[in-house]
Amino acid sequence: MPPLPPLTQALILANVAIYALDVLLGGLLTNWFALWPLGSAFMPWQIGTYAFLHGSFGHLFFNMLGLWMFGSELERLWGGKRYLQLYFASVLTAALTQLVVGLLFGGAPTVGASGGLFGLLLAYGMMFPNRTIMLLIPPIPMKAKTFVVVFGVLELALGVYSPTGGVAHFAHLGGMLGGWLMIRHWRGQGPFGRR
**CATH classification of the domain holding 123:** 1.20.1540.10
Q: How far is CA 43 from CA 5, 40, 46, 140, 181, in A?
A: 32, 9, 6, 42, 25
Phi-psi domain of 168 (left: phi exceeds 0; alpha: psi -120 through 50; beta: other): beta
> pLDDT tens digit string along 81-119?
999 999 999 999 999 999 999 888 877 899 999 999 999
Question: What per-residue confidence (pLDDT) applies to 1?
Answer: 53
pLDDT of residue 135: 75
Determine, yes or no, domain membership for 195. Answer: no
* pLDDT number for residue 2: 61
Say if 92 falls within a structural domain.
Answer: yes
87 domain-assigned: yes
Residue 192 is assigned to a structural domain of this protein: no
- Residue 114 annotated among the catalytic residues of the structure: yes
27: in domain: yes
For residue 19, the model assigns a pLDDT of 96
Domain assignment present for 1: no
DSSP bridge partners of 141: 134
| Three-state secondary structure call for residue 66 | helix
Asked whether the beta carbons of 113 and 51 are under 8 A apart, the reply is: yes
Q: Is residue 145 part of a domain?
A: yes
* pLDDT reported for residue 107: 79
pLDDT per residue as tens digits for the range 143-191: 999 999 998 998 898 888 876 667 888 999 999 999 999 999 998 887 7
| Residues of the domain holding 173 | 6-187
Mention every residue, 6+ apart, whose C-beta is less than 8 A from residue 38.
99, 102, 103
Catalytic residue selected from 72, 90, 169, 172: 172
Looking at the structure of the chain, the number of domains it has is 1
Annotated catalytic residue within 59, 114, 162, 169: 114
> What distance in Å separates the CA atoms of residue 131 and residue 152, rounded to the nearest whole number?
18
Res 68 pLDDT > 60: yes
Asked if residue 193 is part of any domain, the answer here is no
